[in-house]
Chain A
Amino acid sequence: MFVAFFLVPLARLFAIGGTGALGWSAYAAVFTESRYLSSLASTVALAAATTVATLAISGVAGVFLVRNRFRGREVLTALLTLPLAFPGVVIGFMVIMLAGRQGLVPDLTDALFGERVVFAYSMAGLFVGYLYFSIPRTILTVMAAAEKLDPRIEEAARSLGAGPLRVVRDVIVPALTPALLAAGAICFATAMGAFGTAFTLATKINVLPMVIYTEFTLAANVAMAAALSFVLGAITWAVLAVARTAAGNTVAAAG
């Protein structure tokens, strides 16, 4: 059943990629034609930037939430993980709410500097959107891993004279590395394939999923779209596989 509905279609997809005007060289064109290569490069760069920023933000907030007990902590955690399953289109709209033409950030910059800074409909907006949907997931993973850390090791490091930065660098970060790798891989994979956010923000953003969509619907170039999505899928899957090996099979599936 699963084979019929998933593996066979994937194989077909691969085969279709080779049936267009370019034949099998469609796969080569993904890497040689500057239009596709540049969108592939910007997609990878954006996904990587999102991953790094998300890990930094969620790492700090996640460890903080685990290590400290204060009133309202439960509510804060709940709010931070609430957007976990918001779809991409809705997140795109959230970005418009924040930084769109009638958004909050332009209103603020207008009040402060007399200039409306609108960045929702560009790569920056997409970056903010990807952060928005990656943070909740990553915080959950970081928190689960930080719960298992033994605070006594940090105490020991501190009593041996390590400063707070050193404790973070030499004790907390290494201990969290598997979880960060796992969460980072998921984060990267979703940012590679996410499409709804870009679709809502602007159709001109040059990321691979948008290119695939345009090839398929506007140019009706099914073969090229198939080749591109196969490459996209292969890269994403490979990144996840590498991370899973590196992290020792702790990568939890989270879409």
Chain B
Amino acid sequence: MSRARRSPSFWALLAFTLAVCAFLVVPVVLSMLAGVTLNYFVGWRGGLTLDWVAKVWTDYRHTILLSIQIALACLACTLVIGVPAAYVLARSRSGLARAIEELLVMPVAIPGLATALALIVTFGGWGDLRKSWVFILIGHVLFTLPFMVRSVLAVLASIDLRTLEEGARSLGASFAQRFFGIVLPNCRSGIVAGSLMVVTLSLGEFNMTLLLHTPLTPTLPVGLADAYASLRIEVGSAYTLVFFVILIPLLVAMQWASRPRDPSSTTR
């Protein structure tokens, strides 16, 4: 349709879009470069080095490992809670189910800071919970659960679950057989997309974590904020570089996972 003529407005809009893209991408590239330059003030001509990355690894390794640990634990929790919850919500047409769906979105709508304070005033005094990384995990699960539920629910809503299950039941399949043999394989794409989202969000969560963490349990973003505030720009950049190396593959995988669900972009 538009291949035939390229009007001046096309080029103007293309330039605009490219400018927006540059706004988003240039700082990422800059910070990744800064992480491996010898001296940022001199510029990259001054030489490249991996010393900063090594320094980050020795000083902040525990934050990186803790963040990965929390992200994986968070994924496990959201899978165990979120997938069955989505299944129940998809099967039930009652008003209660809709109300629960609505409530589940609240942790996303309410600022993390408020949720974190609420958790602290309620559970802060419970034994050693406050000092444990599990406390951060609770916050992360609250925040990421809606994404898992929504992602799975979206897929479940698009297939005729009831008919599929009825067919299986008439052939004598038990509930467990139906759940693991039919429901789970059918919503695989939703689970994959939801899982990627959960891990990505958990790795980067800061608003809540800053209040929930203790000096003994700093996560990667908390360490990042600390590095930005107190260390030279090269260290902050190298730390960011490490973070991007973990995060960007996840984001790319997320884009890849969401592509098949959008057939109109390839057929037109």
Q: Mark A residues whose CB is within 8 Å of B.
A: 1-2, 5-10, 12-13, 16, 57, 60-61, 64-65, 67-70, 76, 78-90, 92-98, 102, 104, 131-132, 135-136, 144, 147-148, 151, 164, 189, 192-196, 199-200, 209, 212-213, 216, 222, 225-226, 229-230, 232-233, 236-237, 240, 252-255
Residue pair B111, A9 in contact (C-beta under 8 Å): no
- Chain B residue nearest in CB terms to A64: B13
Q: Mark B residues whose CB is within 8 Å of A.
A: 1-3, 9-10, 13-14, 16-18, 20-21, 23-28, 30-31, 34, 40-41, 81, 103-115, 117-119, 121-123, 138, 141-143, 145-147, 150, 197, 200-201, 204-207, 210-211, 221, 224-225, 228-229, 233, 236-237, 240, 243, 247-248, 251-252, 254-255, 262, 264-265
Residue pair B109, A9 in contact (C-beta under 8 Å): no
Q: A195 with B251: in contact, given A5-B138, A69-B2, A226-B117 (CB under 8 Å)?
A: no
Residue pair A57, B2 in contact (C-beta under 8 Å): no
Q: How far is the CB of A222 from chain B (nearest CB, A)?
A: 7
A-B contact count (CB 8 A): 223
Q: How far is the CB of B95 from chain A (nearest CB, A)?
A: 14
The answer, among B123, B150, B252, for a CB contact under 8 Å with A9, is: B123
17 A-B residue pairs with Cβ-Cβ distance under 8 Å, sorted by A, are A2-B104, A5-B119, A5-B138, A8-B122, A10-B118, A12-B118, A13-B121, A60-B13, A78-B255, A79-B25, A85-B201, A102-B41, A199-B210, A229-B118, A233-B114, A253-B146, A255-B201
Cα(A132)–Cα(B231), bound, Å: 24
Query: Which residues of the other chain, A, contact B13 by a CB distance below 8 angstroms?
Result: 60-61, 64, 68
Contacts A226-B121, A236-B110 aside, 5 further interface pairs with beta carbons under 8 A come to A70-B14, A78-B252, A82-B252, A89-B225, A196-B206
